Chains A and B, each alone.
Chain A
């Protein structure tokens, strides 16, 4: 059974760094792209970046370029989303999802709530 399991909720202060994770189970991790998606409180879905673990090719949404870093470690079937300096506006739920080709997300993680508050 395919599963994406994300790391737990985080509470951070502005200016702090953070790395959240998404581990894949039940499929060949290196052969599917993984995307990260943000959902701010009460708002819609926004794609952040998509990585192909096989060769670490990454594409960022222009809206998030230079704001976050997406990475993968295929030896542990895990992708990461990280911030070097959080802002209050980074408060959101972050989802990872498996992308089939370039076409659609078929499996989603359970989401990681990130709260940034002083």
Chain B
């Protein structure tokens, strides 16, 4: 099972909107609506930001939203803030009854 494909790095200016992509296959992202996204600041544990493609846990800012089209999931962050600078990982259940992470995207707020 290969890792889901994420761009290694993305950058944006404060106030902008940016979209992070996560590309898989018909055996993982395309198979189920079980895509989740995690934010990880340096030295910290990952934090759940989006689950089941587009649902936000309680306490997560509504500036974060998720979507999916075919085999690609996306995380959009609107009104970019300095505190959003972090690594972001996607995660999906697969038809093999296993799971897979994306390689991660480093988000820089300019």
Contact = CB atoms under 8 A, between A and B. Distances in A.
A binds B: yes
Interface of A: 35, 37, 44-47, 50, 59, 61-62, 95, 97, 100, 102-106, 108-111
Interface secondary structure of B, over-half rule: strand
Nearest to A108: B45
Contacts of B93: 102-103
Contacts of A62: 1, 98
B48 interface: yes
Interface residues of B, number: 25
B52 A104 contact: yes
Contact of A50 (B1, B40, B99, B101): B99
B100 interface: yes
Contacts of B48: 104-106
Nearest to B103: A44
Contact of B46 (A46, A59, A95, A103): A95
Contact of A110 (B1, B40, B45): B45
Contacts of B100: 47
Interface of B: 1, 3, 34, 36, 38, 40, 45-48, 51-52, 57, 87, 89, 91, 93, 97-104
A77 to B, nearest CB: 19
Contact of A45 (B34, B51, B52, B101): B101
B88 to A, nearest CB: 10
B89 A103 contact: no
A108 B91 contact: no
B45 A106 contact: no
Nearest to B50: A104
Contacts of B52: 103-104
Contacts of B38: 45, 105
B34 A103 contact: yes
Given A44-B101, A44-B103, A50-B99, A106 B46 contact: no
A108 B91 CA distance: 14
Nearest to A111: B45
